[in-house]
Chains A and B, each alone.
Chain A
Amino acid sequence: MVAVKLILKRLLKGLVIAGPPYIAFTDLFYVVRTVDGISMQPTLNPDGDNIDFVLLNRWSTTDIERGDIISLISPKDPTTWLIKRVVALEGDQVKADSCFEEICDVPKGHCWVEGDNRKCSMDSNNFGPVSLGLVTAKATHVIWPPSRWGTLDKKEVTGDRVTLREQVQRGKVFFGWEQ
């Protein structure tokens, strides 16, 4: 009885001491999370079984470039995280991949995110450009399964759909992307 009590006490003490550093570490530096869904095929979950684990880098959310894979809070549902690829940054012009093919200016402080699997992805083509404040982390490595262990490379999404900020034709009087 005494031994059980001692073990329980030790366990509780360990939890109290190790819990807050763990939460702080996952909030500030790195966190490992699973990937749900098929919107990032073929980069993540290529076989459609939700077993992929990715390492998310939480302190480099300020320097986001085109082609990075990021995780963000869904603008439609604040309790879920999405994982998408950045296609365009502020100032760029994107031709949306919807039935209207309207041309969107990405406003200041926003970015345009898309899944690699364009047919089954809920992304900026549905909800428009997202604010950079919603970005929670940058995905850098695949942790599991071991056969695909490695870094997640940047993939520049070139193509005629994105016009870079330097090449956008604007009128003579231009006040920035304050829309």
Chain B
Amino acid sequence: MASPFVVLGKSVIYTVSGFSTLYCTLKFIGGFGRCEDVSMEPTIQHGDLVWISPISVNFQRLQKGDVVFCKSPKSPKAIICKRLIGMEGDTVFNDEKGYEEYVDNGQIWLEGDNKDYSIDSRSYGPLPYGLIVSKVALRLWPLSRFGFIEPGKQPANLNEQPAKLNEL
């Protein structure tokens, strides 16, 4: 018969450990997210439940065309949901301001699918990679639109990075 203090101590340790495991899983591997935004319609509509996977951000597995959750550059608590258009080394034509912009090292270019109702890199320029929170992998709810998020079409305003001179 174990002493009640040992039982209490063990249960406290196991509870703390369990909650920490839950936190680490949700923070670093994958979890649920809800999109409260119209800027990604029709791919993700207002109030959709999605499966997010931060693990692909931490291991730098993002590709152009992925949909990501990103911290808003103007208020660090707000989260925006956009499509990754360009990565470092690309040149993107900014069709809101009317000139081409270069995406520097460690930066990304985000745009919403719903061009008319989206405030994105076209108005505040390229964003640092460190602001990305997670990749959006699956659309869970509503069930009628359950499935993987389609990678976007090759955007017309993107110039892939040119071949480096020393590789020629």
Contacts and interface: CB of A to CB of B under 8 A. Distances in A.
Given A75-B106, A77-B106, A78-B129, A133 B23 contact: no
Contacts of A132: 75-76
Interface residues of B, number: 27
Nearest to A107: B74
B128 A24 contact: no
A58 interface: no
A99 to B, nearest CB: 20
Given A110-B73, A131-B73, A20 B21 contact: yes
B76 A135 contact: yes
Nearest to A108: B74
A76 interface: yes
A75 B107 contact: yes
Given A76-B105, A107-B74, A134 B20 contact: no
B148 to A, nearest CB: 25
Q: How many A residues touch the partner, as a band?
A: 20 to 34
21 contacts: A17-B13, A17-B14, A17-B17, A21-B16, A21-B17, A23-B28, A24-B24, A75-B128, A77-B106, A78-B106, A108-B75, A109-B74, A110-B73, A110-B74, A131-B71, A131-B128, A132-B75, A132-B76, A133-B71, A134-B128, A178-B74
Interface of B: 13-14, 16-17, 19-21, 23-24, 27-28, 60, 71-76, 104-107, 127-131
